[in-house]
Chains A and B, each alone.
Chain A
Amino acid sequence: NAGVTQTPKFRVLKTGQSMTLLCAQDMNHEYMYWYRQDPGMGLRLIHYSVGEGTTAKGEVPDGYNVSRLKKQNFLLGLESAAPSQTSVYFCASRRWGYTFGSGTRLTVV
């Protein structure tokens, strides 16, 4: 009963590099979300998905892209990483309450 699994847990990128964060859930939830958490601020929604094949922008979508090709997976991509994208990224899925992944700590240097 894994819940929501995020990979990788840690990553250091150089400015301009690209990467993909993977979120996988095994609860058959329709709704999935990507958030970023920065010091002193609340979690902010980057993108979300209401079902397989659908994605939508959240509060802070610039510089990120997402895909939901399979119901259980929600991918977050950074095409050209910037230092401002240094953050902790959380994935979550939802039926009624939210289930969060353990987070990915990303540093862009």
Chain B
Amino acid sequence: KNEVEQSPQNLTAQEGEFITINCSYSVGISALHWLQQHPGGGIVSLFMLSSGKKKHGRLIATINIQEKHSSLHITASHPRDSAVYICAVAYNNNDMRFGAGTRLTVKP
């Protein structure tokens, strides 16, 4: 079945930098989710999208259905953005496959 590939696996940035995390998948999906996993382990849902672009504060998520690709952007990054960012694709209501995550470290 589908594989979800994220890049990069690890990313270190300086505070204030613009961050981009990429996610690619291989077959058609019903929706794509971006999740954030804090150093303590908790997972928070950031976005769910099936087309276009969504923005919440400094976070922007885009998806290109034709190219089977999504990006998560963080503008003006801050050390508190340090976390693992996970891309997950949903085939239907209950079959969701997760990427291995991108570990982001933002240095002050």
Contacts and interface: CB of A to CB of B under 8 A. Distances in A.
Interface stretch (B62-70, B75-83, B86-94): B86-94
Interface in B79-108: 86, 88, 93-101
A74 interface: no
Interface residues of A, number: 24
Interface stretch (A12-20, A65-73, A76-84, A97-105): A97-105
A98 B97 CA distance: 13
B33 A42 contact: no
A50 B97 contact: no
Given A31-B94, A42-B86, A56-B94, A100 B43 contact: yes
Contacts of A42: 4, 86, 88, 97-101
Contacts of B43: 90, 92, 100, 103
A33 B97 CA distance: 13
Contacts of A100: 35, 42-45
A103 B42 contact: yes
Contacts of A35: 98
B39 interface: no
> Contact size class for B?
20 to 34
18 contacts: A33-B94, A35-B98, A42-B88, A42-B98, A42-B99, A42-B101, A43-B98, A44-B98, A48-B94, A58-B94, A92-B43, A97-B33, A97-B45, A98-B45, A100-B42, A100-B45, A103-B42, A103-B43
Interface of B: 4, 33, 35, 40-45, 48, 86, 88, 93-101
Interface of A: 31, 33, 35, 40-45, 48, 50, 56, 58, 88, 90, 92, 96-100, 102-103, 105
Given A31-B94, A92-B43, A100-B45, 20 more contacts: A31-B93, A35-B98, A41-B100, A42-B101, A44-B98, A45-B94, A45-B95, A50-B93, A96-B48, A97-B48, A98-B45, A100-B35, A100-B43, A100-B44, A102-B40, A102-B41, A102-B42, A103-B42, A103-B43, A105-B41
